[in-house]
Chain A
Amino acid sequence: MQTDAIDHGHEAKPTHLRFQFSDSARQFHAAKFGMWLFLGQEVMFFSALFCAYAYYRNQFPDAFWHASQHLNTKFGLWETVDLLTSSLTVALAIHFIRQGKRGLTSAMLIITILCAFIFLGMHSFEYYTEFHEGLLPGRFFHPEASIHLPPESAMFFTCYFFVTVLHSIHVIIGIIVLAIILAFNLRGKYSSAYYTHVEVGGLYWHLVDLVWIFLFPLLYLIT
């Protein structure tokens, strides 16, 4: 076994403690720090798209306003409420597992995943509508006859599709991560002494929400 060669002392070690860490607290802190670094990189990952958006909105402000009118703002609003709620439920999941209440944790995780699916469903409907109206990026931009948009509006839809598709990919990854955590929780892996995955998975999910908090006003509420 790996830990034979290392002498950490003579107390019983928790089963989740890895050999390179001397104690649980350090391991937990390392996991959180690692996830925060990963979130820092996620922020930079999205930043390039926010930069492109700013670049083109700065050049074509009127076209962006016109284009934004054709997004479904009500849907955007409900999507925002949905993701904020999912952030609440995942925060509550962590809160409950800290108290060892595994059943409530599972319930909160299920609601979070449900909210995520609702988000994807609503957004898919938006994409479907935009596809039918011909409001697509770049060379696919062929607005149907009833929609009068200047040609530069295509750039709005390019930015919109890139950033929302990337965001949706992160939602899907988040669903997978949360589902795995849910499965582990149902099998009794977590307790009030060890819930690192829940905390770290929750941090990832909050990032997904954070990105949307900025996307909503920038895409749907241009005035």
Chain B
Amino acid sequence: MTAHAESHSAHEKKHHGAGFYIGIWIFLLFCTAATYGAAQVDMGAWNLPVGLAIATLKGAVVCLFFMHLWGDTRANQFILILSLLFVTLMISMTLADVNTRFPLTAPPNSQRFKVNPNGQLE
């Protein structure tokens, strides 16, 4: 491989224009407004998943387009997915622990510690 060919090997992919990145940015600003707007609406227990879903969408867009993961090597894509998998594992198992413990072991002001006026566990 000659030096000339080397310097262009990294550029064989078609690259987006500057306008593409600005377009992504506008989409991200729109999503931010949507997150803020969704938080003003009371959807009960759905507020958290909706907020996280929009955040995940924004994060995915940043990864895929600003960080060039779209069309990148499989190895780079895999690292991110694997770490997110382990984060999900960590959080879900620890939450499962607190949520399935005997309720009276929870702190007195916590959601799980519920005792009715007769002093019985709810």
Contact = CB atoms under 8 A, between A and B. Distances in A.
Interface of A: 11-14, 23-25, 28-29, 32-33, 36-37, 39-41, 43-44, 47-48, 50-51, 54-55, 58-63, 73, 77, 80-81, 84-85, 87-88, 90-92, 95-96, 98, 150-152, 192-194, 202-203, 206, 209-210, 213-214, 216-218, 221, 223
Contact of A214 (B3, B59, B86, B107): B59
A85 B6 CA distance: 33
Interface in B1-22: 1-3, 6-7, 9-11, 15-16, 18, 21-22
Given A23-B1, A85-B25, A88-B22, A217 B66 contact: no
Contacts of A213: 55, 58-59, 62
Interface residues of B, number: 58
Contacts of B106: 59
Interface of A is mostly: helix
B104 interface: no
B39 A217 contact: yes
A210 B59 contact: yes
Contacts of A98: 11, 15
26 contacts: A14-B7, A24-B10, A33-B73, A33-B76, A39-B80, A40-B80, A50-B87, A51-B87, A55-B98, A60-B107, A60-B110, A61-B111, A84-B28, A84-B29, A84-B32, A87-B28, A88-B25, A88-B66, A150-B109, A194-B7, A206-B67, A213-B59, A216-B32, A218-B52, A223-B42, A223-B47
Contact of A29 (B24, B73, B84): B73
Contacts of A88: 21-22, 24-25, 66
A54 B93 CA distance: 11
Contacts of B95: 54-55, 58
B121 interface: no
A37 to B, nearest CB: 6
A218 B51 contact: yes
A12 to B, nearest CB: 6
A127 B106 CA distance: 31
Contacts of A48: 90
B111 A13 contact: no
